A and B are shown apart, each in its own frame.
Chain A
C-alpha cells in the first residue's frame, strides 16, 4: 500500500503538470463588440496588413454613419462591425481551443475491478498512461500549431475575401450613384426636348407624330433613370450588409468615383510593371509571400512534413502504453507492478500513412506550382485590364468628354446664329451625358479591377505599386485612394461639380 500510495502521489503532479489549466475560453467565442478589440489587435500578429486596416481610425460608427465613407474606412468599419467578419474571427477561437486540446496528453486510464472467487473478493486497480503521448508531445504540439496556423490562414483568406468584397461593393455603390446622377441628367435632357416638342405641337408648329417621338424618348430615359436609382439603392443595401449595418442606415457615400490623376494608376506605371520582368517578379514574390492560400499551402507542407516525421518516429507503433497495476489477491495479498501495452508493428507499420503523406507532399508541390502560375496570370490579367481601362478612362476624361463639351459650345454658337435648332442643341447635351455615363461605367470597371488586383497581389495599401516601379514619376502613381475624392480639373457635370455626397434616401 505504501508503494501504491507513493506511485499514485508521484503520478498526480505529473498528470496535473501535463494538464492545461489556462483559460481556453478566450474572447474568440464572445459576441460582445467590446471583446472584439483583442481579436483585432491579434490580427496584427496574423497579418500586419489586415491589422493596419483593423486599427485605422474609423469616422463612421453605427451611431453616426452619416459621415463620408471611403473604401479604407469601409473596410475598417467592416472589420470592426460586420457580423460575418466577426464570425470568421470567432472561428479562430474554436481553432485555438482545438489547438490547446491537441497539445494536452490524454488523460491517464484508471481501472478498478472486483472479482469474487471462492467466497472472497479479489480487487484490482490500475492506472495507465499512453507513453507515446508523452514521447511525441513536443512533436504533436508543433503539429497542432501548424494546424492552428492553417486554420488561421483559412480565416485570413476568408477575411481578405470579405474585405475585398467590401471594397468592391463600395466602388459598386459609388459607381451606381455616379451613373444614376448622369442618367438623371440624360432623362432631364429628354424631358426638356419633350416639353419643347409639346409646346411646339400646341402652337401648331410640330406634328403629333414628331412630338410623340420625343415623348417616346422621354419615357425610355425615365425608365432608365428609375432603374439607375434602384440599382444605386440595391448596391447601397449590399454595402450596408457587408458592413453589418441595418438596411436604410443613412450611410453616406460619395456620388462620384475617384478619377483624378492622383487617384488612377498611370498607364506608364502599369506598363513598367508588365514589361519589366524584375518588377513583375517582385510583384509576384510579394503576392506569393502574402497570399493567404499560399501561406496555407506552406503551412500544410510544414504540417505534412511534421506528420511524416512523427510517423517515422513512431516506428510503426500506433499504440504504446505504460501502466501501474495493483492486484489484491483473494488471500489478502497484494501484487503491484508496471504494465506495458503496445501494438506490435508486425503487419501495420504505418507504411500507408507515410506513403499517403509523401504523396500529399508531392501533390502539394504541384498545387503550389499551379497556384503560383495562376497568381502570375491573375496579376498579368489584372495589370493588362488596368492598363487598358486606365487608358480608356483617361481618353474619355481628357479627350472624349471635353470634346463633347466643346461640341456643345459650338452647337450653342450655331443655335445662337439660327444655324441649329434647340432640339439638336439639347440632343448634343444628351450625348454628352451619355458619354459621361460610358465614362462612369469604365471607371467602375477600373475600380473593380483595381480591387481584384489588390486582392490578387495581397496588398491592402494602394501605394504599394509606387514601390514596384523603379524610376517612374512618383506623382504618376496612385496614392492612397482612400483619400476623399477630389474632382478632376474639369467638371464632368456642371450641375454638381463639387461632388457633394448625398444621403441615401
Chain B
C-alpha cells in the first residue's frame, strides 16, 4: 500500500499522476488527522525542503517536455472546520484551501484549471511575475472560464517566495466560499547557510458561517464567525511538528479580510521573507508577533525548542469560534435568584458570565448546554491541565527531542523545576 510520503515523493519524481481530468478527491475533505496529512518528515532527496501544509497537501505534478503540469479543479467541496461543523464550501481538488502548488524558481509550469462550478471562474496567481494574459483577472486579462471548461495557464516562474492563488472572478463570493491556496516557489539557488529542516505553509482566512447554517455568507465584511488556519479551527488544526534544534520556517499567507498579528510562543523568530521572496539576511528582524496583512505573506523562521508552543493570531476574538458581538456584559452580576425565575419561564436557562467566561467551556464540555446545529462552541480544546479556552486561529508547534514520524507526540511534560507551581503564601514584603 502506498503511503502519503511515498505518494509525495513519487509525485515529485513525476511518476504519480492521477490524470489531468477527474482527479478530484471527491467532495469530501479528509478528517483532520492527529498530525498533518502530508508527511512532516523533512528528509527528501530534493534540493529543497518540501513544504508541509497542515491539514492539507501539496499538489502532485507531472513533468511533460520539461514543463511541470498541474491540474486544479474548481468545485464545491464538503468541508469540516472541526468535528461538528461542516459546510458546503468551494475549493480546489476536493478541499479548501486547495492543494499547495510547489515549484522552483525558473520552472516552466502549465496549470490546467477545470471549472466544475456553476459560474465562471479564473485563477489569479497572487504576486507572481508573469505575462499579463496569465494574471487571471476575469474580463481584463482573459474571459472567465465558463462552467465545465478547462483552461490552461502557462508561464515561467521568475521569482521565488511564498505566494498564493485565488479566483479573480466573482472574487468576493468565491473567496468567501473558500477558493484559495498557497503557491510556494523555492529559490533556484539553495542557500545552504539558511537551510530549513521543516517548512510549513499556513493560509489564514475568515468565514461567515452563521449559527445553524451550512454555507458561508459572502456579504459579511466584519463580524465573521470562524477564523481559520488552512480552513480549520482549533483544536482541529494539525500541530506543527519539529525536533528540538531544527530550523523551522512557517510561511503564513493571509487571504482573509483582517490583518492578523501572528504570535509565536517560546521563541523569537526571524521574519525572513514575504511575497517578495526571501529577504537578504541583513533585512531579517527578530519578532515574537508579526502582522500578516490582508493579501500578504510572511516567512517566519526559528530554531525549535522543546515544548508545545502556541502559534496564534493575537486578535483575541480571532482565537474564538462563533460568538455574539452585542451581548450584555454579565461579569460581576449575580443572577442566581433571577436565573431561577427565568427558568420558570424558559426551562434550561442558565446564567453565565458572572465571574468571567471560563465556566463556559466547562458547561459545554459537560454536554448539558446544547448549541445550534452545525455550530462550534466559542472556545474549546483541552490540554493536559484542563480547558485551553481557545478556538479559531490557534495551533501548536510541538517540538520534541525526537519525533516518531508524523505521529502526534502527545502533551509535552515540562522538566522538573520548569513549571509554574502553586504556593500557599506570598511574601508580605512584595510591593503591589
Q: Which A positions have Cβ atoms within 8 angstroms of B?
A: 185, 188-189, 192, 195-196, 199-200, 202-206, 408, 410, 412-423, 425-426, 429, 494-495
Contact = CB atoms under 8 A, between A and B. Distances in A.
A412 B333 CA distance: 20
A426 B344 CA distance: 12
B330 interface: yes
Contacts of B212: 410
B334 interface: yes
B338 A414 contact: no
Given A199-B338, A416-B369, A421-B327, A185 B322 contact: no
Interface stretch (B38-46, B148-156, B346-354): B346-354
Given A410-B372, A417-B371, A418-B378, A205 B346 contact: no
A421 B378 CA distance: 14
Contacts of B422: none
B360 A418 contact: yes
Contacts of B348: 412
Nearest to B370: A413
A417 B322 contact: yes
Contacts of A412: 346, 348-349
B332 interface: yes
Nearest to B354: A203
A53 to B, nearest CB: 42
A195 B333 CA distance: 11
A115 to B, nearest CB: 103
B386 interface: no
B266 interface: no
Given A408-B346, A419-B324, A422-B330, 6 more contacts: A188-B345, A417-B323, A417-B371, A420-B324, A426-B345, A495-B344
Contacts of A495: 344-345
Contacts of A205: 328-333
23 contacts: A192-B338, A192-B341, A192-B342, A195-B341, A200-B330, A203-B331, A205-B330, A408-B346, A413-B211, A413-B371, A415-B349, A416-B363, A417-B364, A418-B357, A419-B322, A419-B375, A420-B327, A421-B326, A422-B342, A425-B346, A426-B346, A429-B345, A495-B344
> Which 9 pairs of residues, A with B, have the shortest CB-CB distance?
A417-B371, A416-B369, A205-B329, A421-B327, A203-B332, A203-B333, A419-B324, A413-B372, A199-B333
Contacts of A185: 345
B335 interface: yes
Among A192, A416, A420, max chain B CB count under 10 A is at A416
Interface string B388-408: 000000000000000000000
A202 B331 CA distance: 12
B345 A192 contact: yes
Contacts of B334: 199
A417 B332 contact: no
B176 interface: no
B242 interface: no
B335 to A, nearest CB: 7
B338 A494 contact: no
B377 interface: yes
A204 B341 CA distance: 22
Contacts of B369: 416-417
A195 B338 contact: yes
Among A188, A419, A423, A425, max chain B CB count under 10 A is at A419
Contacts of A203: 331-333
Contact of A418 (B327, B333, B347, B349): B327
A455 B24 CA distance: 74
A199 B341 CA distance: 14
